[in-house]
A and B are shown apart, each in its own frame.
Chain A
Amino acid sequence: MTDYRCRGVVRLLAVAALALLPPVAQAGRPVFEIEIRGHLFHPSELVVPANTKVKLIVYNRDPTPEEFESYELNREKIIMGGQRAIVFIGPLTQGEYPFFGEFNPKTAQGKIIAQ
Chain B
Amino acid sequence: MLLTSVIIILREVLEAALLLSILLAMSHLLHLRLRWFYIALAAGAAGSVAYGMQLAAISDAFDGVGQELLNAALQIAIYLLLLVIAPLLVVNYYTGERYRGILSAAMTVAVATAVLREGSEVFIYLSAFRYSPQPWSGVLTGALLGAGIGFSVGALFYYLLVGMPRRRALLVTCVLLTLAAGGMVLQATQLLIQADWLPAQVPLWNSSVLVAEGSLTGQMMYALVGYEATPTSFQVIIYSASVATMALLLLLTRYHQKKIRTVRDVSQAR
Interface residues of A (CB under 8 A from B): 2-3, 5-7, 9-10, 13, 17, 21-22, 24, 26, 29, 53, 55, 63-65, 67, 71-72, 74-81, 83-88, 90-91, 93, 102-106
In the complex the two chains form, is A91's CB within 8 Å of B202's CB?
A: yes
Other A-B contacts than A24-B199, A83-B56, A103-B125, 11 sampled, CB-CB below 8 A, are A21-B198, A24-B198, A53-B196, A63-B131, A64-B132, A65-B124, A72-B208, A74-B228, A74-B230, A77-B68, A91-B202
Q: Which residues of B contact A86 (CB under 8 A)?
A: 63-65
Give the chain A neighbours of B229 by CB distance below 8 A. Answer: 71
Chain B 105-149 near chain A by CB (<8 Å), digits 1 or 0: 000000000000000010011011001100000000000000000
Collect the chain A residues with CB atoms within 8 Å of residue B199's CB: 21-22, 24
- From residue B71, how far is it (CB to closest CB) to chain A in Å? 9
The stretch that binds A, out of B13-21, B40-48, B164-172, B247-255, is B247-255
**CB contact between B55 and one of A64, A80, A106 (< 8 Å): that residue:** A80
What are the 6 closest A-B residue pairs judged by CB atoms, nearest first?
A86-B64, A88-B196, A6-B249, A64-B128, A71-B213, A80-B56
B122 to chain A, nearest CB (A): 11
Chain B residues with a Cβ closer than 8 Å to the other chain, count: 50
Q: Is B38 an interface residue when CB atoms closer than 8 A count as contact? A: no
- Dominant SS among interface residues on chain B: helix
**In contact, B4 and A2 (Cβ under 8 angstroms):** no
Task: Give the residues in chain B near A87, CB-CB below 8 Å.
Answer: 194
Quote the shortest CB–CB distance from B120 to chain A (angstroms): 9
Q: Identify which of B121, B190, B212, B237 contacts A74 (C-beta below 8 A).
A: B190
A-B contact pairs, 7 of them (CB 8 A): A6-B249, A26-B196, A55-B196, A64-B131, A78-B121, A86-B63, A103-B8
Any A CB within 8 A of the CB of B241: yes
Does B84 belong to the interface (CB within 8 Å)? yes
Q: Which residues of B contact A77 (CB under 8 A)?
A: 67-68, 194
B67 touches A24 (CB 8 A): no
State which of A10, A80, A105 has its C-beta within 8 Å of the C-beta of B4: A105
Q: Which residues of A contact B237 (CB under 8 A)?
A: 17
- Min Cβ gap A94→B in Å is 12
Question: Residues of A contacting B214 with CB < 8 Å?
Answer: 71
Q: With A13-B241, A13-B245, A102-B8 in contact, do A3 and B84 touch (Cβ < 8 Å)? A: yes
Contact A84 B55 (CB under 8 A): no
Residues of chain A within 8 A (CB-CB) of B125 are 65, 67, 103
CB distance from B55 to the nearest CB of A (A): 5
Which chain B residues (227-259) contact chain A, with CB distance < 8 Å? 228-230, 237-238, 241-242, 245, 248-249, 252-253, 256
- Inter-chain contact B196/A103, CB cutoff 8 Å: no
Residues of A within 8 A of B196 (CB): 24, 26, 29, 53, 55, 88
C-alpha spacing A2/B88, complex, angstroms: 11
- Chain A nearest CB, measured from B224 CB (Å): 17
- How far does the alpha carbon of A9 sit from the alpha carbon of B252 in the complex, in Å? 13
What is the CA–CA distance of A32 and B90 in the complex, to the nearest angstrom?
51
Does B59 lie at the interface of the complex (its beta carbon under 8 Å from any beta carbon of A)?
yes
B window 53-88: CB within 8 A of A: 55-56, 59-60, 63-65, 67-68, 83-84, 87
Whole-angstrom distance from the CB of B13 to the nearest CB of chain A?
15
Chain B: minimal CB distance from A103 (Å): 6
Which residues of chain B are within 8 angstroms of A64 by Cβ–Cβ distance? 128, 131-132
Interface: B221 (CB within 8 A): no
The chain B residue sitting closest to A21, CB to CB, is B199
Chain B residue, CB-CB nearest to A29: B196
